[in-house]
Protein backbone atom coordinates (compact mmCIF):
# COMPACT_ATOMS: atom_id res chain seq x y z
CA UNK A 1 0.00 0.00 0.00
CA UNK A 2 1.47 3.31 -1.10
CA UNK A 3 2.56 5.47 1.83
CA UNK A 4 1.91 2.74 4.42
CA UNK A 5 5.20 3.49 6.20
CA UNK A 6 5.41 7.16 5.20
CA UNK A 7 4.99 8.71 8.64
CA UNK A 8 4.00 12.42 8.72
CA UNK A 9 6.77 14.68 9.96
CA UNK A 10 4.57 16.26 12.65
CA UNK A 11 4.90 13.05 14.72
CA UNK A 12 8.69 13.53 14.95
CA UNK A 13 9.27 9.76 14.92
CA UNK A 14 9.83 7.02 12.40
CA UNK A 15 7.58 3.95 12.34
CA UNK A 16 10.07 2.02 14.49
CA UNK A 17 10.39 5.02 16.78
CA UNK A 18 6.62 5.04 17.30
CA UNK A 19 6.72 1.32 18.11
CA UNK A 20 9.41 1.88 20.73
CA UNK A 21 7.47 4.78 22.20
CA UNK A 22 4.27 2.72 22.24
CA UNK A 23 5.91 -0.18 24.04
CA UNK A 24 7.44 2.14 26.62
CA UNK A 25 4.15 3.84 27.37
CA UNK A 26 2.33 0.49 27.53
CA UNK A 27 4.76 -1.76 29.40
CA UNK A 28 6.08 0.61 32.06
CA UNK A 29 2.57 1.04 33.56
CA UNK A 30 2.15 -2.75 33.66
CA UNK A 31 5.48 -3.08 35.47
CA UNK A 32 4.55 -0.29 37.89
CA UNK A 33 1.15 -1.89 38.46
CA UNK A 34 2.80 -5.23 39.25
CA UNK A 35 5.16 -3.58 41.75
CA UNK A 36 2.17 -1.98 43.50
CA UNK A 37 -0.10 -5.02 43.25
CA UNK A 38 2.31 -7.55 44.78
CA UNK A 39 2.53 -6.05 48.31
CA UNK A 40 -1.07 -4.81 48.15
CA UNK A 41 -2.29 -8.31 47.30
CA UNK A 42 -0.28 -9.82 50.13
CA UNK A 43 -1.95 -7.41 52.55
CA UNK A 44 -5.33 -8.48 51.17
CA UNK A 45 -4.41 -12.13 51.70
CA UNK A 46 -3.13 -11.51 55.21
CA UNK A 47 -6.05 -9.27 56.20
CA UNK A 48 -9.12 -10.66 54.44
CA UNK A 49 -11.29 -7.71 55.46
CA UNK A 50 -9.06 -5.43 53.37
CA UNK A 51 -9.71 -7.19 50.05
CA UNK A 52 -13.33 -5.99 49.41
CA UNK A 53 -12.56 -2.26 49.86
CA UNK A 54 -9.35 -2.53 47.80
CA UNK A 55 -11.24 -4.29 45.02
CA UNK A 56 -14.00 -1.67 45.23
CA UNK A 57 -11.54 1.22 44.95
CA UNK A 58 -9.66 -0.30 42.01
CA UNK A 59 -12.93 -1.04 40.22
CA UNK A 60 -14.19 2.52 40.71
CA UNK A 61 -10.89 3.92 39.41
CA UNK A 62 -11.07 1.59 36.42
CA UNK A 63 -14.54 2.93 35.64
CA UNK A 64 -13.18 6.49 35.27
CA UNK A 65 -12.86 7.28 31.54
CA UNK A 66 -9.26 7.82 30.47
CA UNK A 67 -10.09 11.25 29.04
CA UNK A 68 -11.44 12.40 32.40
CA UNK A 69 -8.30 11.04 34.05
CA UNK A 70 -6.17 13.07 31.61
CA UNK A 71 -8.11 16.24 32.37
CA UNK A 72 -7.48 15.82 36.11
CA UNK A 73 -3.77 15.03 35.70
CA UNK A 74 -2.86 17.46 32.97
CA UNK A 75 -2.71 20.42 35.39
CA UNK A 76 -0.04 18.56 37.40
CA UNK A 77 1.90 16.52 34.83
CA UNK A 78 1.23 18.51 31.65
CA UNK A 79 0.95 17.03 28.17
CA UNK A 80 3.55 14.37 28.85
CA UNK A 81 3.89 10.59 28.76
CA UNK A 82 3.35 10.56 32.53
CA UNK A 83 -0.21 11.79 32.04
CA UNK A 84 -0.87 8.70 29.93
CA UNK A 85 1.04 6.19 32.04
CA UNK A 86 -0.50 7.05 35.43
CA UNK A 87 -4.07 6.07 34.40
CA UNK A 88 -2.75 2.94 32.67
CA UNK A 89 -0.96 1.95 35.89
CA UNK A 90 -4.16 2.44 37.88
CA UNK A 91 -6.17 0.42 35.36
CA UNK A 92 -3.82 -2.57 35.66
CA UNK A 93 -4.56 -2.87 39.40
CA UNK A 94 -8.14 -4.03 38.84
CA UNK A 95 -6.73 -6.97 36.85
CA UNK A 96 -3.53 -7.76 38.75
CA UNK A 97 -4.75 -7.52 42.35
CA UNK A 98 -7.52 -10.17 42.00
CA UNK A 99 -5.21 -12.40 39.93
CA UNK A 100 -2.46 -12.34 42.54
CA UNK A 101 -4.85 -12.71 45.48
CA UNK A 102 -6.56 -15.71 43.89
CA UNK A 103 -3.20 -17.26 42.99
CA UNK A 104 -1.76 -16.87 46.48
CA UNK A 105 -4.95 -18.11 48.13
CA UNK A 106 -4.84 -21.22 45.93
CA UNK A 107 -1.69 -22.45 47.71
CA UNK A 108 -2.69 -25.51 49.81
CA UNK A 109 -2.62 -25.04 53.55
CA UNK A 110 -0.54 -28.21 53.85
CA UNK A 111 2.17 -26.55 51.78
CA UNK A 112 2.16 -23.45 53.96
CA UNK A 113 2.25 -25.57 57.11
CA UNK A 114 5.24 -27.52 55.76
CA UNK A 115 7.07 -24.29 54.91
CA UNK A 116 6.38 -22.93 58.40
CA UNK A 117 7.64 -26.17 59.95
CA UNK A 118 10.87 -25.76 57.95
CA UNK A 119 11.41 -22.37 59.58
CA UNK A 120 10.16 -20.10 56.78
CA UNK A 121 9.06 -16.70 58.05
CA UNK A 122 6.12 -14.81 56.47
CA UNK A 123 8.27 -12.92 53.94
CA UNK A 124 10.34 -15.93 52.92
CA UNK A 125 7.23 -18.10 52.70
CA UNK A 126 5.56 -15.51 50.47
CA UNK A 127 8.56 -15.10 48.15
CA UNK A 128 9.71 -18.71 47.94
CA UNK A 129 6.48 -20.69 48.31
CA UNK A 130 3.34 -18.69 47.61
CA UNK A 131 4.50 -16.55 44.69
CA UNK A 132 6.09 -19.41 42.70
CA UNK A 133 2.92 -21.48 43.02
CA UNK A 134 0.82 -18.44 42.08
CA UNK A 135 2.90 -17.73 38.93
CA UNK A 136 0.30 -19.14 36.48
CA UNK A 137 -2.44 -16.90 37.89
CA UNK A 138 -0.11 -13.88 37.97
CA UNK A 139 0.99 -14.41 34.37
CA UNK A 140 -2.64 -14.79 33.30
CA UNK A 141 -3.37 -11.39 34.87
CA UNK A 142 -0.28 -9.87 33.26
CA UNK A 143 -1.38 -11.12 29.84
CA UNK A 144 -4.73 -9.35 30.13
CA UNK A 145 -3.19 -6.18 31.59
CA UNK A 146 -0.47 -6.01 28.93
CA UNK A 147 -2.79 -6.44 25.96
CA UNK A 148 -5.21 -3.91 27.45
CA UNK A 149 -2.42 -1.41 28.06
CA UNK A 150 -1.08 -1.73 24.50
CA UNK A 151 -4.55 -0.90 23.24
CA UNK A 152 -5.24 2.00 25.62
CA UNK A 153 -2.00 3.87 24.90
CA UNK A 154 -3.57 5.10 21.66
CA UNK A 155 -6.01 7.25 23.68
CA UNK A 156 -3.03 9.46 24.56
CA UNK A 157 -3.33 11.01 21.10
CA UNK A 158 -6.05 13.20 22.62
CA UNK A 159 -3.53 15.16 24.73
CA UNK A 160 -0.91 16.34 22.30
CA UNK A 161 0.69 13.47 20.38
CA UNK A 162 1.26 11.26 23.44
CA UNK A 163 -0.55 8.27 21.92
CA UNK A 164 2.45 6.77 20.08
CA UNK A 165 0.96 4.58 17.32
CA UNK A 166 -2.46 6.03 18.13
CA UNK A 167 -1.25 9.32 16.68
CA UNK A 168 -1.30 7.67 13.25
CA UNK A 169 -5.08 7.30 13.56
CA UNK A 170 -5.39 11.00 14.31
CA UNK A 171 -3.16 11.91 11.36
CA UNK A 172 -5.14 9.57 9.12
CA UNK A 173 -8.12 11.89 9.64
CA UNK A 174 -6.10 15.09 9.32
CA UNK A 175 -4.33 14.15 6.07
CA UNK A 176 -7.07 11.91 4.67
CA UNK A 177 -4.72 8.92 4.62
CA UNK A 178 -6.61 5.82 5.79
CA UNK A 179 -3.52 3.66 5.33
CA UNK A 180 -2.06 5.30 8.43
CA UNK A 181 -5.00 4.07 10.52
CA UNK A 182 -4.59 0.58 9.06
CA UNK A 183 -0.88 0.72 9.91
CA UNK A 184 -1.63 1.69 13.53
CA UNK A 185 -4.31 -0.97 14.07
CA UNK A 186 -2.27 -3.80 12.53
CA UNK A 187 0.92 -2.82 14.34
CA UNK A 188 -0.81 -2.63 17.73
CA UNK A 189 -2.46 -6.00 17.11
CA UNK A 190 0.89 -7.59 16.26
CA UNK A 191 2.53 -6.03 19.33
CA UNK A 192 -0.26 -7.37 21.56
CA UNK A 193 0.07 -10.88 20.08
CA UNK A 194 3.86 -10.87 20.48
CA UNK A 195 3.68 -9.59 24.06
CA UNK A 196 1.08 -12.20 24.94
CA UNK A 197 3.20 -14.96 23.39
CA UNK A 198 6.29 -13.77 25.27
CA UNK A 199 4.42 -13.95 28.59
CA UNK A 200 3.34 -17.50 27.77
CA UNK A 201 7.00 -18.40 27.22
CA UNK A 202 7.89 -16.74 30.55
CA UNK A 203 5.21 -18.79 32.27
CA UNK A 204 6.58 -22.01 30.78
CA UNK A 205 10.10 -21.04 31.88
CA UNK A 206 9.04 -20.17 35.45
CA UNK A 207 6.82 -23.22 35.90
CA UNK A 208 8.71 -26.16 34.37
CA UNK A 209 6.78 -28.55 36.62
CA UNK A 210 3.51 -27.70 34.85
CA UNK A 211 2.68 -29.70 31.71
CA UNK A 212 2.33 -27.81 28.46
CA UNK A 213 -1.02 -27.83 26.69
CA UNK A 214 -0.06 -30.66 24.35
CA UNK A 215 1.36 -32.85 27.14
CA UNK A 216 -1.65 -32.15 29.35
CA UNK A 217 -4.04 -33.19 26.59
CA UNK A 218 -2.07 -36.38 25.98
CA UNK A 219 -2.07 -37.12 29.68
CA UNK A 220 -5.83 -36.70 29.86
CA UNK A 221 -6.49 -38.75 26.69
CA UNK A 222 -6.90 -42.50 27.47
CA UNK A 223 -4.76 -45.04 25.67
CA UNK A 224 -6.53 -46.90 22.83
CA UNK A 225 -6.42 -50.19 24.73
CA UNK A 226 -7.89 -48.56 27.85
CA UNK A 227 -10.56 -46.83 25.82
CA UNK A 228 -11.45 -50.09 24.08
CA UNK A 229 -11.81 -51.91 27.39
DSSP string, 101-124: HHHHHTS-HHHHHHHHHTT--HHH
pLDDT band, residue 96 (cuts 50/70/90) = very high
Query: Is the confidence at residue 172, as pLDDT, over 70?
Result: yes
Instruction: For 8, list phi and psi in degrees, rounded to 5.
Output: -60, 145
Task: Write down the pLDDT at residue 147.
Answer: 93
Quick one: average pLDDT of 138-158? Answer: 89
Cα 1 to its chain centre, rounded Å, is 32
pTM (predicted TM-score):
0.83
Q: What is the mean pLDDT of the chain?
A: 82
Non-local (6+) Cβ contacts of 81 within 8 A are: 24, 25, 156, 162
Q: What is the DSSP letter of 64?
A: S
Query: Is the confidence at residue 228, as pLDDT, over 60?
Result: no
Task: Write down the pLDDT at residue 213.
Answer: 53
Mean pLDDT lowest for which of 1-5, 15-19, 207-211? Answer: 1-5
Note whether 162 and 84 are within 8 A (CB). Answer: yes
Query: What are 107-147's pLDDT values in tens digits?
Result: 878 887 888 888 777 778 877 788 888 888 999 999 999 99
Task: Write down the pLDDT at residue 32.
Answer: 94
Query: What are 52-79's pLDDT values in tens digits?
Result: 999 999 999 888 888 888 888 888 888 7
Neighbours of 70 (CB within 10 A): 21
Amino acid sequence: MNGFFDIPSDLQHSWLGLIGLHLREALLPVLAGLVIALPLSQLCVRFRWLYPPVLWVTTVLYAIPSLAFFVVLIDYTGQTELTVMIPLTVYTLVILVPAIVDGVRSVPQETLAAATAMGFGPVRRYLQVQLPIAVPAIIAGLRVATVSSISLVSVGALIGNQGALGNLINDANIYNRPELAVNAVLTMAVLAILADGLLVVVRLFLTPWMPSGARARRAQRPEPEVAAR
